[in-house]
Chains A and B, each alone.
Chain A
């Protein structure tokens, strides 16, 4: 698949004074990708998005959008972008359709097509029944939708959404997710979130950023592979001794849980389930349950972000030792 690269970020760093918010990250987003941008608070998600959309200049690094360098051709690059910041940028004293018309003009949509673009955005974001109301009087969820409508009004090649489903009710969240999936078929979408299930539901690529560094950049399948089962949970009516379980080929460790449950660890590439069942039948252990234990996205996330912290404290120790 040779889809064109819509966003390319190279060696991006961004400092706020002495504080480094984003440290030397590089990635690419191709057409048709929906990239989920994950990270704990203060990890640099928003900063990265601001830099990509040109609202913040990078300290070091190069960014191009749809083939245009953001510094050399800012207007052409920005024309290919739709951006919904963390706080939707809305003029509260305007009506919804009036505001969207303004946004359409701001993106140089020709006058005779403005109405069509506005109608399309209103339709896509389900704003039909509020289009003549003042934005300031709308609920948070509707304001968020207006924000999304504003970002997609000019059908940009790249849509950047900073926490798009915050403040929406479950039905709206589902609608917005479907909308994002639809967008992802023709455009590419970057969305930041800290809701992990959202990434699982919507994205086909995942990036995890922590303390300004990219610690994971993978497809969602790759991430699932990382989450592969390396443990089995089994239950026997007539449990055998632990040693007997460990002797079964492929099992590295066995642990007894409450009741007659056992937790068995194995290598990621060899699953001992078949051997285990054979033994259980042969020796009449009375196997009643066998479940692969899947690591949840939460666990992967916690593991990845925590590892990084650990390295940092070790580095910190080294520095203090040298100082002493």
Chain B
């Protein structure tokens, strides 16, 4: 399992892909960071007089992580599309299938490889808000809850992408479908937030609502469970899908 994960991670860094993504993400989030820090400095004086005003963490960390999630929405399909479908296309899947490793290890290996890549990306991004510690104070509780939120959010994205990648031999199809599903889960929150009969369900399914809570520092077990359950669901589906392929 870790062998597969390690190879997966290596393959990102031996191609320009990883570097391009890390560079672009860092660049865009740096602008967001600079802008929101600047914003905070400019309205700092007014905030003092407002009761319950948003703090440094609220303004800077929250916007950086929020933007990270938007970028994740765009790049996850590009990263996950290759996971299984590329292997299938270049016929390397046979190597994994004929090796003494279980389907579970193959899927989890792929998953962990990409999650590790994401953690590297997150660590680099978080260096920026952490630099604020030189001159100010961060609400560490909210900061931590935001990080956990971002990790859970990303793992769910990756699990969904991985599952869709097991469905097809064409990476482009996998990317577009993943993109569609992620956007759907994103915008369904809007319907949920509008008033209506079934809005509770929609609001629950939506990816963003749970992330919002965590960003605001509200650490509900419901939100965490949402991500854990859905991630597990898609991983299990992927394992079954890969297993079923031998039978069909």
**Which A residues fall within an 8 A CB radius of B?**
50, 53-57, 74-76, 78-79, 81, 83, 85-87, 89-94, 102-103, 105-108, 150
Contacts and interface: CB of A to CB of B under 8 A. Distances in A.
B3 A102 contact: yes
B94 A89 contact: yes
Contact of A93 (B4, B11, B91, B93): B11
A89 B102 contact: no
A237 to B, nearest CB: 62
Contacts of B127: none
Given A57-B246, A57-B247, A106-B3, A90 B98 contact: no
B98 A53 contact: yes
19 contacts: A54-B98, A55-B93, A55-B94, A55-B98, A55-B246, A74-B100, A76-B100, A78-B99, A78-B100, A83-B94, A83-B98, A86-B91, A92-B90, A94-B11, A102-B7, A103-B99, A106-B4, A106-B95, A106-B99
B115 to A, nearest CB: 19
Contacts of B11: 91, 93-94
Given A54-B246, A78-B98, 10 more contacts: A74-B100, A76-B100, A83-B94, A86-B91, A89-B90, A91-B11, A93-B14, A102-B3, A105-B3, A106-B3
Contacts of B96: 106
A91 B92 contact: yes
Interface in B1-31: 3-4, 7, 10-11, 14-15
A55 B100 contact: no
Contact of A54 (B4, B91, B93, B97): B97
A86 B97 CA distance: 15
A150 B95 contact: yes
B101 interface: yes
Given A56-B246, A57-B246, A75 B100 contact: yes
A106 B101 contact: yes
Interface in B216-248: 246-247
A91 B102 CA distance: 20
Nearest to B247: A57
Nearest to A59: B247
- Going nearest first, the 8 A-B pairs with the smallest beta carbon separation are A89-B95, A79-B100, A89-B92, A83-B98, A57-B246, A105-B3, A55-B97, A78-B100
Given A83-B94, A106-B99, A93 B7 contact: no
B91 A85 contact: yes
Contact of B95 (A57, A79, A93, A103): A103
A75 B10 CA distance: 26
A108 B105 CA distance: 13
Interface of A is mostly: loop
Nearest to B11: A93
Nearest to A79: B100
A56 B14 CA distance: 31
B91 A89 contact: yes
Contacts of A86: 91
Contacts of B7: 91, 94, 102
A54 B95 CA distance: 11
Nearest to B246: A57
A50 B97 CA distance: 10
A202 B65 CA distance: 63
Nearest to A88: B91
B42 to A, nearest CB: 47
Give the residue among B92, B95, B97 with the most A Cβ atoms within 10 A: B95
Nearest to B95: A89
A197 to B, nearest CB: 27
Given A102-B3, A105-B3, A89 B93 contact: yes
Interface in B92-120: 92-102
B5 to A, nearest CB: 11
Contacts of A105: 3
A85 B3 contact: no
A103 B95 CA distance: 8
B92 A90 contact: yes
A134 B7 CA distance: 15
A81 B14 contact: no
A108 B96 CA distance: 13
Nearest to A162: B94
A79 B98 CA distance: 9
Contacts of A83: 94, 98
A150 B99 CA distance: 11
Contacts of B246: 54-57
Nearest to B109: A106
A255 B41 CA distance: 109
A76 B247 CA distance: 20
A93 B13 CA distance: 10
A63 to B, nearest CB: 13
Residue among B7, B10, B91, B102 with the highest chain A CB neighbour number at 10 A: B7
Contacts of A89: 90-95
Given A102-B7, A106-B3, A75 B94 contact: no
